Amino acid sequence: MFPFSSTRRASLACVGTMLAVAGLPAAAQHVEINQPHRHQLELRYASFDPLTVVPAVPARLRAHADAGVYIVQLHDRATDAARRSITSTGARLDRYLPMNAYIVRMDGATAAAVRALPAVRWVGPFHPAYKLDEPLLQAIVLGGLGDSPVRYSIQMLARGEADQRSVARSIAGLGGLVHGGEPLGYRIEATLTLEQLEAIAHRPEVLFIDAKGAPEDDMELARQFGGARTLHALGYLGQGVRGEVLDGGLRLEHVDFQATPPIIHGSNSPVTAHGTSVYGIVFGDGTGDPRHSGMLPMGQGIFASYTELGFLGGGPGRYAHTAELVDPDGPYRAVFQTNSWGDPRTVQYTTLSAQMDDLIFLNELLITQSQSNAGTRQSRPQAWAKNVVSVGGINHLDTLTRDDDFHFYASTGPAADGRIKPDLSHFYDAVETTSSAGPRAYTTFNGTSASTPIVAGHFGLFFQLWGTGFFNNPVDPTGDVFENRPSAMLAKAFMINTATPWPLRDDLARIHQGWGAPDLSSIFRARSSLYTVDQSHNLLAPGDMAEYSVDILQGPSQPLRITMAYLDPPGNPAARVARINDLDLLVIDPSGQVYHGNVGLSEGLYSIPGGVPNAVDTVENVFIETAKPGRWTVRVIAREINEDANLATAHMDAHFALVIHGGQARAVCAADFDGDGVLSVFDFIAFQRAFDTGDMRADLDRDGRLTIFDFMLFQTRFLAGCD
């Protein structure tokens, strides 16, 4: 805490508010991003430097002359100035494409003007070949799908109805069948012949197309293993927690569902076998047999049938449905949703992966998703989403010890772009739960259909703890769990940070277990040594940095665990890399050694120094087994902001969640220019010295120049103080 009176702080509250709205949080600093620029265009179709070689495209899938849609690559990372220079020509900037490129709609004359801009490196057509999933591309070029119509998911470049209606009219004109659109999203679904598919791929509104299939379905020891029994014994049974199980159907008359009847969101399906077992793992109260009670026996369950959402479970109703769950004035007020089903398996980030990311991006809801049960990387497309919590499965042989655990048949990571998946794991086998066979029936349930609701239940108990201020987090004492909930990304970071991994070996590798199993006992023990930063407290513009110091005291050795997660806009299915923005975690130990997020953690339980910044994951960890005494520095750096991740501001910015477990952590204040922890005249002297010597740390308004406005901004931050 800095030495200012509470009265003075209160009088300056409006200044702090203006800074936050402007995208300039007091803790943010600007840094130079010194890393090599990559000029490869990372399309699913091919990875290439367009100034060196552009791969051949089959003639029938080349863009027509003046097709109206282009790729525009910049010389450097995207900036607001570069984007404005493109749109000033009349071009329409649509989706980001790695690396340093955008898909842009414009005519040929405008393309020539854009090509001449100083910021622009290359302009070329966005060919229909770039818009097709690999099997579809091969089928059009080589044949193989036959003449029978097939159902497809077609993603547009822009959100909303305009593009969807235009493409739907084109499909109708070709004789295809449109099944509907997503007014709040990006997709339509349509049944097309191969010839019709080829024609639609030429439409300028279309970003990507892949095939669409029908949805597929994918405890006593579980409560002990993850520490839930300890919390249950202390009275934490899910009171006040509301969460949704989205599945097939639910047998409502089961005895374990009578004390707190499920709220049905929509209508129920008569096919109840799978959904009844999944629901019982989360919300069964054990009335018929206490050994089979769920993770949240006193929670309020919500049940919805995916058959009611349209588009075979992934359709337009899912946007409205998800928004209803988090409507503060609605009847649901859910803090999580769990899914033990998904669309036909794939190894790619698809249009449906992007939809899942978009649902979470728009609604800030914690969603768990089963990885699936293929024993390979073939997984539900929703599990490859960045913002979701993907759940894998580990066989535990119905014992509490980890020594006999192994991976057998759950689907595995990594994602196609190298992201670590699954995020978390739990029991794959021998999970006792409710059965639809009768009102007092139970069954043994297996698969990631079982592990996923177990993980969701752990999140439910975490939300209950947070809602009571258990971690010394601020809460409204008159508010409920929903009103006091943290962001979905903080919950995700929290659970990953405190998870207990299995020993890493060939049959329990990171690709099998992710970051391990949720551990409520670890959370309980760690409550006095946790420092958290929720995303609502941070806004980072390109090149901004938020910094924190962690003091490790002399004495018994202690670990240090740091997790950063950020909410990312939906990815581009036509690209090889799913992330849009790039926020990096960097940690410096007292001797100056640098640790980058996730370096060493694919192969080991603990981080290793060195390496390079992570450019694919939206969750980054630094885990230190024994932290050296002294001051550690933690930085979150906004290396790239390519699309706006915080729609509440007018600027291009992003936010993040951070969990530091171990030591004594605090934010480093940007106004504390000399870094001594006290705001004083010496900070003015340090700023003046930097300004006079041309040190760009003094460029606080990030305009690339040192001017009087930097002085004014420094003074404003100084007066606002630091918390």
Give the separation between CA 645 and CA 641, rounded to whole angstroms: 8
End residue of a domain, out of 523, 547, 576: 523
339 and 478 assigned to the same domain = yes
Residue 34 scores a pLDDT above 80: no
Does a structural domain hold residue 405?
yes
pLDDT of residue 676: 75
Task: Select from 147, 179, 211 the last residue of a domain.
Answer: 211
Are 388 and 440 part of one and the same domain? yes
Checking if the pLDDT of 135 tops 80, the result is yes
* CATH assignment of the domain containing 93: 3.30.70.80
Q: Is position 31 within any domain?
A: no
Is the pLDDT assigned to residue 671 strictly greater than 90?
no
Same domain, 359 and 306: yes
Task: Domain of residue 688: give its range.
Answer: 6-24+673-720
**CATH at residue 254:** 3.40.50.200
Q: pLDDT value at position 288? A: 95
**Phi, psi of 459, rounded to the nearest 5 degrees:** -60, -40
Whether residue 56 lies inside any domain: the answer is no
* Domain C-terminal end among 184, 211, 238: 211
H helix or E strand, kind and range, residue 462: helix 448-467
* Structure-block tokens of residue 337: 């949703």
Domain assignment present for residue 685? The answer is: yes
| Better-predicted residue by pLDDT, 342 or 397 | 342
The structure tokens listed for 105 are 């709609």
CB atoms within 10 A of CB 112: 12
**Do 578 and 440 have their domain in common?**
no
What DSSP element (H or E) covers 83? helix 80-87
Q: Distance (Å, rounded) from C-alpha 224 to C-alpha 301?
A: 22
Is residue 569 included in any domain, yes or no?
A: yes
> Is residue 497 located within the same domain as residue 421?
yes
Domain count, the chain: 5
Quickly list H helices, 486-547.
Answer: 488-497, 510-513, 520-526
- What residues have CB less than 8 Å from 343, skipping those under 6 apart? 212, 213, 215, 216, 312, 313, 314, 350, 352, 380, 381, 382
- Looking at the structure, do residues 166 and 279 belong to the same domain, yes or no? no
Token pair 């790729």 is found at: 71
The predicted structure's pLDDT at residue 3:
29
Q: Is the same domain home to 627 and 695? A: no
* pLDDT tens digit sequence for 202-231: 999 999 999 998 888 874 566 677 677 778
Q: Is residue 46 part of a domain?
A: no
Of 56-60, 213-217, 604-608, 618-622, the range with the lowest mean pLDDT is 213-217
348 lies in the same domain as 428 = yes
Q: Looking at the domain assignment, is residue 241 inside a domain?
A: yes
Does 267 share its domain with 163?
no
Do residues 582 and 692 both lie within one domain? no
Its pTM stands at 0.90
Same domain, 309 and 444: yes
Q: Looking up tokens 């040929």, which residue turns up?
A: 108
Report if residue 51 sits inside a domain: no
Q: Is the domain of 136 the same as that of 201?
A: yes
